[in-house]
Structure 1
């Protein structure tokens, strides 16, 4: 596919951007840049960050990163490649990006400013935001979380937090049940879409969405994983989801340790196990 205008390309999640337009390979893409909506179809979306001290605009709609921001991005992506062992990258200067997974569920990266909340409310019908970041994640990128939360309150968007440590599958495994509990409640309320995000929307957030689809959507783990990653290229930790499934389904003191189980263990569950997991996850509401 040819360039649109002057070329200003960078790679995000294995997909290329040219001159503020996200170039799709197979599916229609939503891309918002400089505040204007270029396409209005389901799929991947990106919001340019604007003049917030993170990126500086050049002529032609490109974004030139400040040295500090560039260093932080390189640092973050290096850690992600090393600890998650995947090829995907996060580019903070390109703004919030997200993917519509189901009609009620969106997975994406962190909102960076109050205007991102306006966009999610007005363009995507978001009524719930589930934030999986720790405080240090938000501080690292210089995002003012209080402003984000205040705008959510003004727009009557329910903002929820279920922090999990970035790049840590053990932390993700522990926090998944509570996070899925919040997500399941939000979707069951039916008042609007739920937006689940971490920092990049590549690890923790898609893992929560996959676990929700696995436990509450009558899919096995591979089906839920393939469905999400076919729409949003990412690398959530499947073992953490399996481990969390094991923790919820097996409470017997004599159970075999999860670490000794084969790789396919808890990639699927029996109906009685799924019902048990659902009951235990729902019991975490408000915890």
Structure 2
């Protein structure tokens, strides 16, 4: 598929689904890439997955493995409950991601400095946008400071725009600043942008879709479908519509967003898009 514009994605993909989108995406099959025993990425499709160097035990016996499995189970139960989707996060398989366009990658959290090395060497990543809260990082036992240090050593710009996991209101409030960071990095053009949350199935794809909606001339459904066709997932459309409403409407007498129909702000007029773009760009550096 041809690029929409010089600064926009040529193809895209997404995270967990909701309502009718869930039924459509459930029929699609995803393929994954895993790291083999020689510690190389093996490509089996669009999604790349980096397995820990120690490999994966089929029957974990250690207390550490049991604790990790419990965390994954708790996280996936919460994901299914809040996002109404069948997708799961498997932390033990390592970092996984999908190349959306020539300058945008959406994926899960880097787990160690070597993951940053891979993103730099294999994908030419120059920017990382982390949407996790501190408690997300602590929950999975990630040494974030070691990852940030490695980014500095490799001249990768590491940025954080925390949003609460499984919380559409927090996502809605954080989208303008997150998209501002994403838009700035893409406009710089020094390398690819890696956007991640924890699993890469909710917050990160939502930011990518919103950027496509606001800056690439697409309506919300087109942007959503383009991303989810590559990375099956289901971020909240309501959060994206709400953030669009917040930026496009500043009249003191405007109707409350919650009273609008479900299709409201799935598309916007040119003057509204220009207004949103100016407001998002004004957030750079905040």
Give the structure 2 partner of residue 7 of structure 1.
none
Write out per-residue CA displacement over residues 68-122 of structure 1, whole angstroms, 9 at most, x where no aligned residue.
0000000000011111111110000000000011110000000000000000000
1:281 aligns with 2:284: no
Residue of structure 1 in register with 2:47 after alignment: 44
Q: Cα gap change, 1:63/1:212 in structure 2, threshold over 3 Å: closer, same or farther?
A: farther
Query: Is the Cα–Cα contact under 8 Å of residues 32 and 49 in structure 2 kept in the other structure?
Result: no
Task: Show structure 1 runs of 5+ residues with no match.
Answer: 1-12, 14-24
Give the corresponding residue for 2:155. Answer: 156
Residue 266 of structure 1 aligns with which residue? 265
Match of 1:100, SS? strand
Structure-2 change in CA distance of 1:270 and 1:105 (3 Å) = same
Unaligned 5+ runs, structure 2: 1-15, 17-27
How is 1:207-286 mapped onto 2 (pairs within 5 angstroms)?
207-286=206-285
Q: Is the contact between residue 63 and residue 93 of structure 1 (CA under 8 Å) also seen in structure 2?
A: no
Q: Which residue of 2 aligns with 1:177?
A: 176
- What secondary structure is seen at the aligned counterpart in 2 of 1:231? coil
Q: Deviations over 1:205-258 (max 9, x none)?
A: 000000000000110000000000000000100000000000000011110100
Residue 125 of structure 1, CA deviation: 0.6
Normalised to the residue count of structure 1, the TM-score between the two structures is 0.85
Contact 1:127/1:194, CA 8 A, preserved across alignment: yes
Structure 1 segment 20-35 matched on structure 2, within 5 A: 30-34=33-37, 35=39
8 Å contact kept, 1:63–1:94: no
Residue in structure 2 matched with residue 203 of structure 1 by the alignment: 202
Return the offset for 1:30: 4.4
Aligned to 1:128: 127
Match of 1:66, SS? helix
1:67 and 2:63 are equivalent in the alignment: no
Offset at residue 38 of structure 1 (A): 2.4
With over 3 angstroms needed to count, the CA separation of the structure-2 counterparts of 1:29 and 1:78, relative to structure 1, is closer
Give the Cα–Cα distance (whole angstroms) in 2 for the partners of residues 57 and 216 of structure 1.
41
Number of equivalences: 258
Distance 2:163 2:49 in 1: 24
